[in-house]
């Protein structure tokens, strides 16, 4: 039942992203600890998302991999509930649209900032790595 909840959160996120972009699962990787989904949106917006059961933390290996991806300039998120999955999907859509429509957002503005602003508006905590 608990593993099912993690999969359901992941599915809901994918449904939220699908009308505007892709949230793919890179299967068959021999690289352990890689995040569950790679979200790709219009305008070259890419981030990585690890899904967990409510309250669960990434493993040490997953944390190292996400730190490596962050050093490469990618944004990584850990999502452990339905509401945060919906918030991140919405932030990705808004960020992607803003990057295409407003050139001033192309530099110095991150998905994490859009996500944190939406969480703050809704009184939530941040899950950006």
Cα(78)–Cα(87) distance, integer angstroms = 12
Task: Give the tens place of pLDDT for each residue, 73-93.
Answer: 999 999 999 999 999 998 888
Fold of the domain built from segment(s) 2-121 = Trna Endonuclease; Chain: A, domain 1 (3.40.1350)
Cα(125)–Cα(106) distance, integer angstroms = 25
Is residue 38 helix, strand or coil?
strand
Q: What predicted TM-score, i.e. pTM, was given to this entire model?
A: 0.80
> Where residue 46 falls among pLDDT bands split at 50, 70, 90?
very high
Each domain of the chain, given as residue ranges in start order, spans 2-121
List Cα–Cα distances, 93 to 64, 86, 90, 119, in angstroms: 27, 11, 5, 15
């Amino acid at each position: 039942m608990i593993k099912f909840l993690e999969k359901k959160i992941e599915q809901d996120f994918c449904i939220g992203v699908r009308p505007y972009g892709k949230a793919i699962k890179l299967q068959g990787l021999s690289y352990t600890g890689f995040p569950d989904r790679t979200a790709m949106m219009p305008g070259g917006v890419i981030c990585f998302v690890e899904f967990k059961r409510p309250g669960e933390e990434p493993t040490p290996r997953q944390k190292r991999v996400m730190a490596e991806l962050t050093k490469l300039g990618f944004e990584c998120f850990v999502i452990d509930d339905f509401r945060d999955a919906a918030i991140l999907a919405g932030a990705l859509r808004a960020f992607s649209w803003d990057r295409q429509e407003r050139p001033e957002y192309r530099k110095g503005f991150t998905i994490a900032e859009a996500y944190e602003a939406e969480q703050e508006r809704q009184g939530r905590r941040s899950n950006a790595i």
